């Protein structure tokens, strides 16, 4: 990928790229979670999912805001509303349709466990004070998302026959999208050199331990880590699900670019 290397000449370019990757994961995830609003299985769970969605969108908003500052854009809306699917750098895991409640919980759990380890390592490593401050703030909320989704995996997996099957199906279906979390491409390698990202393989075993122990406690079988893994999203090669999501998310802002909340 010589083209990306020539594009990212400065440390600031690399920082912007890291910010957008982190933010895109969280914005798309937040949007998918927000689709549950009014459709949660229980009133209390409806509120919980909306809360996590707001947390995710909030994390994305502050990361985009910092990127906008560095790139001289007006505000974070530029990244959320005025980029096309090829420009989005989120992993495919985040854009998959919300599915049933078990699928949403499986995604939340796998991503929250990953974020939990990633953010701890990033906080130890990242020297950029502004980014580090954001990460520390976000980690508190990630711990709660992890607790919430883990408790649900245990209850659904070790619940009724139907909830067990749905939870197992969800993990089986989603598994091939977990590989992208641990990919390290040229851009992340560059970021690691600048202490703006970490070698995620350092905590891959910790992540697997936590996932395995939770699934086992939930009487679920752990899918095969060595199966085919989806790849390409970080470079804009998304599944067919991202386009329709963006169409819905961006429509209003693009149709009425000067609209304001009154």
Contacts with other proteins, residue ranges (CB under 8 A): 42-45, 47-48, 51, 144, 147-148, 151, 155-156, 159-160, 163
C-beta of 36: minimal distance to other proteins in Å? 13
C-beta of 41: minimal distance to other proteins in Å? 10
Joined tokens for residue 122: 């990033």
Q: Which is nearer to other proteins, 83 or 164 (CB)?
A: 164
Q: Which is nearer to other proteins, 50 or 222 (CB)?
A: 50
Q: Which is nearer to other proteins, 99 or 159 (CB)?
A: 159
C-beta of 239: minimal distance to other proteins in Å? 30
C-beta of 39: minimal distance to other proteins in Å? 16
Q: Which is nearer to other proteins, 90 or 113 (CB)?
A: 113
C-beta of 152: minimal distance to other proteins in Å? 8
Q: Which is nearer to other proteins, 86 or 147 (CB)?
A: 147
Q: Which is nearer to other proteins, 147 or 254 (CB)?
A: 147
C-beta of 48: minimal distance to other proteins in Å? 4
C-beta of 52: minimal distance to other proteins in Å? 9
Three-state SS string over the chain comes to: CHHHHHHCCCHHHHHHHHHHHHHHHHHHHHHHHHCCCCCCCCHHHHHHHHHHHHHHHHHHHHHHHHHHHHHCCCCCHHHHHCCCHHHCCCCHHHHCCCCCHHHHHHHHHHHHHHHHHHHHHHHHHCCCHHHHHHHHHHHHHHHHHHHHHHHHHHHHHCCCHHHHHHHHHHHHHHHHHCHHHHCCCHHHHHHHHCCCCCCHHHHHHHHHHHHHHHHHHCCCCCCCCCCCCCCCHHHCCCCCCHHHHHHHHHHHHHHCCCCCCC
Q: Which is nearer to other proteins, 163 or 231 (CB)?
A: 163
- Residue 5's CB is within 10 A of a number of other CB atoms, namely 12
Name the nearest CA neighbour of 17 among 250, 138, 242, 196.
196
């Amino acid at each position: 990928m010589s083209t990306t290397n020539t594009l990212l000449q400065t440390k600031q370019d690399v920082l912007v790229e890291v910010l957008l990757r982190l933010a895109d994961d969280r914005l798309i995830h937040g949007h998918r979670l927000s689709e549950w609003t009014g459709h949660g299985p229980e009133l209390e769970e409806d509120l919980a999912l909306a809360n996590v969605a707001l947390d995710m969108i909030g994390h994305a908003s502050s990361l985009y805001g910092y990127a906008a500052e560095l790139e001289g854009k007006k505000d974070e809306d530029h990244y959320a509303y005025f980029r096309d699917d090829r420009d989005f750098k989120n992993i495919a895991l985040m854009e998959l349709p919300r599915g049933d409640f078990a699928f949403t919980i499986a995604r939340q759990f796998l991503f929250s466990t990953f974020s939990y380890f990633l953010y701890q390592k990033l906080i130890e490593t990242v020297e950029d004070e502004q980014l580090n401050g954001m990460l520390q703030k976000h980690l508190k909320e990630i711990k709660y998302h992890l607790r919430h989704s883990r408790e649900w995996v245990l209850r659904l997996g070790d619940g009724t026959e139907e909830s067990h099957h749905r939870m197992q199906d969800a993990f089986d279906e989603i598994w091939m999208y977990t590989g992208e979390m641990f990919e390290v491409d040229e851009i992340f390698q560059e970021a690691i050199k600048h202490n703006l990202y970490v070698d995620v393989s350092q905590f891959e075993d910790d992540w697997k331990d936590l996932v395995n122990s939770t699934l086992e406690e939930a009487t679920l079988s752990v899918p095969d880590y060595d199966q085919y893994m989806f790849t390409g999203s970080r470079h804009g090669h998304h599944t067919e699900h991202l386009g329709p999501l963006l169409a819905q998310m961006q429509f209003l802002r693009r149709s009425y670019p000067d609209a304001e909340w009154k």
